[in-house]
A and B are shown apart, each in its own frame.
Chain A
Amino acid sequence: EPEVTQTPSHQVTQMGQEVILRCVPISNHLYFYWYRQILGQKVEFLVSFYNNEISEKSEIFDDQFSVERPDGSNFTLKIRSTKLEDSAMYFCASRQGVGNGYTFGSGTRLTVV
């Protein structure tokens, strides 16, 4: 069964450093997302991406965050200057079309120290 692949599975970074989280969505999917889950809390929407542009973003997705789909296969989330409160599990997801369920990746656990 097709999968959404995320790398790395774990990342530890110093506060203030930039991190890039990588995702390879399913090849024929058109809609791409990033969500995050702080330990013990609910899954929160960050951003949706369709037709090579951001279609919606949450209040969490401030100027420190950006997304890119540089080559038609990868979908990246960049955090420019990480804060302690950015520590969370970050999930990438994709779906084929409106009304379809999502396929989520296994997540990247980001720890900011």
Chain B
Amino acid sequence: SQQGEEDPQALSIQEGENATMNCSYKTSINNLQWYRQNSGRGLVHLILIRSNEREKHSGRLRVTLDTSKKSSSLLITASRAADTASYFCATGRSGNTGKLIFGQGTTLQVKP
């Protein structure tokens, strides 16, 4: 698989439920970021977790990072219809360029 692979590719849940998306990567990283994209729109930065961090919270979002397994998860608690979007993980490496490598994304549908 390529750097930054998410699963599942698509997820459909009811409003109020929790949504969990996973991301795996192959090379060493400096940080891992999660982005959201509404259909046909730009990318919105959600959260950044550094390689020396294991868990981070931001509002209803919880991100974990396991560098030994080269994986991360994004949990959205108490989902809302407005959370419907595509979610991407992107890995960043050390150095000034800051190039991000994106995964294919998980499409989340939250039904009201």
Contacts and interface: CB of A to CB of B under 8 A. Distances in A.
Interface of A: 31, 33, 35, 41-45, 48, 50, 55-56, 89, 91, 93, 95, 98-107, 109
Contact of A102 (B33, B40, B105): B33
Interface in B35-89: 35, 40-45, 47-48, 50, 88
Contact of B98 (A48, A103, A107): A48
Q: Is the interface of A mostly helix, strand, loop or mixed?
A: strand
A91 B44 CA distance: 12
List of 4 A-B pairs having minimum Cβ-Cβ separation, nearest first: A56-B97, A106-B42, A43-B102, A104-B43
Given A42-B105, A104-B42, 6 more contacts: A35-B100, A45-B100, A48-B98, A89-B40, A99-B31, A102-B33
A56 B105 CA distance: 24
B101 A45 contact: yes
A98 B31 CA distance: 10
Given A42-B104, A99-B31, A101-B33, A56 B99 contact: yes
